[in-house]
Every structure is written in structure tokens, then in C-alpha cells.
Amino acid sequence: MSAAIVCLTEALPHSALTITVPPGGLTLQGRIQVPGDKSISHRALMLGAIAAGETRIKGLLLGEDPRSTARCFRAMGAQISDLEGEWVSIQGLGIGHLQEPAEVLDAGNSGTTLRLMLGLLASHPDRFFTVTGDDSLRSRPMSRVVTPLTQMGAQIWGRKENSLAPLAVKGQRLQPIRYVSPIASAQVKSCILLAGLMVAGQTTVVEPSLSRDHSERMLSAFGADLSRDPERSSVTLNGPAQLIGQTVIVPGDISSAAFWLVAAAITPGSELVIENVGVNPTRTGILEALAQMDADITLENQRVVTGEPVADLRVRYRPLKSCTLAGDLIPRLIDEVPILAVAALFAQGKTTIRDAAELRVKESDRLVVIASELQKLGATVVEQPDGLEIEGGASLQGNAVDSCTDHRIAMSLAIAALRARGSTVIFRAEAAAVSYPDFIKTLTKVCHPT
């Protein structure tokens, strides 16, 4: 494609991404792959570190977030090979053998690293751990995991009544729990299940609706005794568990594929095939939402790879219509709301997103940031207490916008910019590397002037 469409300016300490749409517009064409699933990558590293024997991982996401997980578990004694290799190999320590680290464990920007790891740390008797993260993570609520862990007997201290990192943890022998979670959160569920691994008896988590189930699938594959009742969104772990190292092949991340699905769905003349995408039903809310909007997306070559369903996704441009997204669907597309808001701008009619207040405590307050940044491009997006109202039929004009250091906002703004007249400058675009280091490279590859 023409080099003029996408231009990255490295203006340290931050980069700015300039996207210039040629007067005739552009289309997206090609076959692409997206990086490994972030949720599965974290879990493969963590379970590999605590299982007995060797775990081998192919397709691991090389984003900043899994690097944070690897750094923390190396600091606790796990031998994890070079992450850049085709296969990553982990010599696991065995359950209960995480070592007391000599340093503060730094989870960077990653809520999954910090929250899941807390379950493991809290259940290692007589060991002391301190954990922290970047500015964004230190402002995100930890009480959602500290509260159930404390009910299991954990000792955790932190700012604002133990709800904000940095946190200090004194590991304990924990008690079983039946925890009825007020939120559908895979991070909460996974934290409690990991804490239950060393507990004798049943650890049960009940959610208001089913959140992503990668932990359940992978814990079972590593040998944990787990029973599930999807109807009631409940899962029970019978502990104590023995985990044995496994081979994990990480599929492409549907949350990263979502940017290309929407980009092609809103840009006339486009057709993309995104190969090897994880289509676990607890993650395919984005496909259901886009189907409601009448997008032309087909699943090809469906298969199951190390316990996770995978497919190639073909998307072609077709005019979209508005929809309402709410209820149990929201946890299954929670990370895709920013890019769905961009899709809604180019649908006919007004789209309403509700029951999504969780977005306020993600890497940024995404309801505030989506509304404010898309408004700068001329969109009509109204923030609601638990969602957004988005006017379709938008006619965007390039402008200066800001990722607010949030990776999914950076990439959503880049896709919106493909349908804006003139040039859009996205400040702090380097945030994309948290989950998608090659995003700009792929953008450059698939965009063609018409």
C-alpha cells in the first residue's frame, strides 16, 4: 500500500500514529494472522510455572502483558525459555513451590497477571510477596479478588482498605469457599480457582453469567478435577490438585481479530480472511453483535486445537444496521466494546450499549474515553452510566486524538481513522503493543488506496 496512509512518528517518550486517507478512500484486502490469545497466553505461562514437569507453548502472544506474567513467574523460580522462540518451554515448579521473590512483582499494565497471580500467592503458606503495576493498574479495583481471597483466609494489605496495588501478601493455608460473584469476571473466577488448587475440599465460583472459560479448560487439561454447570454459570474445583505440564497451542486472539472484522465490515470494497482465530463460545460475542448488525462474516475451516475451538474468519464489506447490545452478551464481548462503537458509527440508525459499567475499570474508563475521542472526529456518541448511545451514518473528519495509554482505544481509533476524511493523529499509539505489537505493520499491509 502507499506509505502515505500510515505513518508512525517516534517522538519519545511517546509515539504518534498518523493515518491519512487518500481522497478516493481505501479498502482492506488480504489474508492475515493475528497474535496469540492474550488470556490463553497468561494462563499457559502460569499453569506451566506451577505444574510438575515441562510445559511447551506455541503461538504465545509476545505482547507487553504476557511478558509481565513471564517476568513475575521467573522471579518466583520458574524456568521459562526465551519468549521469542517458536516454542516456549517451561520447567514447572510443582504446585505450592513458587519461591519467595527477592523483588517486587511488577504486573505492568496487566490486570490478568495481577489478579490471577494473587490467588496463587495468597495460597503459598509462610511466603511473603509484594505486587504492583503501572499507573493504570494501580488505579484499578483489586477488592473484587481481595474480598473472596480474604474470605478464604488470605492476608493481603494495600492502599484504600486493601483495594489498590501495591499490595502485600502473606501466604496462608486457605479454606474452601463457595463464592457467588457479583460480577461476571473471568479474572475473579480464575483467581479463586487458582487459590483453590492447594485447598483440600471444594472451591466453587458462581457467576451472574458465564465469563470466558479458558481457565476451566486449561486446568482440566493440566489434570485438575473440575466440574462445571454452564447453565448456572458455576464451576467447582476439587482440591488439592496435581497439575502435569502440557503442550498448549495458542490460537489467534479474537479480541485482536475484532479490529480487522470491523475495519473490513465498515469499509466499502473490503474483504479479509483472518486465519487461525480462537472462537471459544465465551468469546464470540463480537461475532453475534456483528451478525445482529448484518455484517458479512463466515467461519471457515473450523477445528479444535488443544482444547479450544478455532476457525478462519472471512469478512466482506456490507452495509450495517444498528443494534442493541446488553445483558449476558456483554461479558462475552467486554473487550470489544470500543471497536463495536466504531462499527456502530457506520451502521444505519442508533446503537445502544448497556450493562457495560465494567468498562469504567478497564485499562482506562473506556466509556469516557471512547465517547470523548470519537467526538473529536465528529461522531455523535453519548456516554451513559452503564454504556453508550452511538448515532450511525457518521461522516468523520480527521483530527488529533489520544489513546489515553489504553491499547484497545489506540487500535479502535486507528480503525475509525480509516473512515475519516484527511489525516488523523493518534497520540500514545504505542499502547497497542500491550496486546498487539504488530498492529501497525498489519494495518500497513492490508490497506490499499482505491
What residues act catalytically? 335
Instruction: Return the number of the residue (334 or 410) whose C-beta is nearest ligand S3P.
Output: 334
112 binds ligand S3P (CB under 6 A): yes
Instruction: Return the number of the residue (212 or 428) whose C-beta is nearest ligand S3P.
Output: 212
- Determine the Cα–Cα distance for residues 278 and 97; give it in Å rounded to an integer: 32
- Determine the Cα–Cα distance for residues 363 and 354; give it in Å rounded to an integer: 19
Instruction: Return the number of the residue (335 or 402) whose C-beta is nearest ligand S3P.
Output: 335
SS (H, E, C) 225-242: EEEEEHHHCEEEEEECCC
3-state secondary structure of 152: coil
Residues 27, 39, 109, 322: which binds ligand S3P (CB under 6 A)? Answer: 39
Residues 211, 280, 322, 412: which binds ligand S3P (CB under 6 A)? Answer: 211
Residues 295, 334, 343, 432: which binds ligand S3P (CB under 6 A)? Answer: 334
Stretch that binds ligand S3P, among 82-90, 146-154, 184-192, 291-299 (CB under 6 A): 184-192
266 binds ligand S3P (CB under 6 A): no
Minimum distance of ligand S3P from residue 254's CB (angstroms): 12
What share of residues in the chain are helix, strand, coil (percent, to 5)?
35, 30, 35
Stretch that binds ligand S3P, among 69-77, 181-189, 268-276, 293-301 (CB under 6 A): 181-189
Minimum distance of ligand S3P from residue 363's CB (angstroms): 8
Burial status of residue 436 (CB atoms within 10 A of its CB: 0-12, 13-18, 19 or more): buried
Residue nearest to ligand S3P (CB): 39
* Beta strands at 128-132 and 105-106: parallel, antiparallel or unpaired: parallel
335 binds ligand S3P (CB under 6 A): yes
Minimum distance of ligand S3P from residue 183's CB (angstroms): 7
CA dihedral defined by 206, 210, 213, 215, rounded to 10 degrees? -30
- Determine the Cα–Cα distance for residues 416 and 410; give it in Å rounded to an integer: 10
Minimum distance of ligand S3P from residue 65's CB (angstroms): 9
Instruction: Return the number of the residue (1 or 186) whose C-beta is nearest ligand S3P.
Output: 186
Angle subtended by helix axes 337-345 and 285-292, to nearest 10: 10
Instruction: Return the number of the residue (257 or 347) whose C-beta is nearest ligand S3P.
Output: 257
Residues 186, 277, 390, 447: which binds ligand S3P (CB under 6 A)? Answer: 186
Residues 136, 185, 204, 280: which binds ligand S3P (CB under 6 A)? Answer: 185
136 binds ligand S3P (CB under 6 A): no
Minimum distance of ligand S3P from residue 188's CB (angstroms): 7
Pattern 348-367, ligand S3P, x by CB under 6 A: ----------x---------
Instruction: Return the number of the residue (256 or 270) whose C-beta is nearest ligand S3P.
Output: 256
- Determine the Cα–Cα distance for residues 443 and 52; give it in Å rounded to an integer: 41
Total residue count of the chain as it appears in this document: 450
**Owner of C-alpha cell 460480577:** 183
Select from 134, 183, 186, 141 the least CA-distant residue to 160: 141
What does the DSSP assignment read for 180-247? E-SS--HHHHHHHHHHHTTSSEEEEEE-SS----HHHHHHHHTT-EEEEEGGGTEEEEEES---B--E
Positions touching ligand S3P (CB under 6 A) are 39, 42, 112, 185-187, 190, 211-212, 334-335, 358
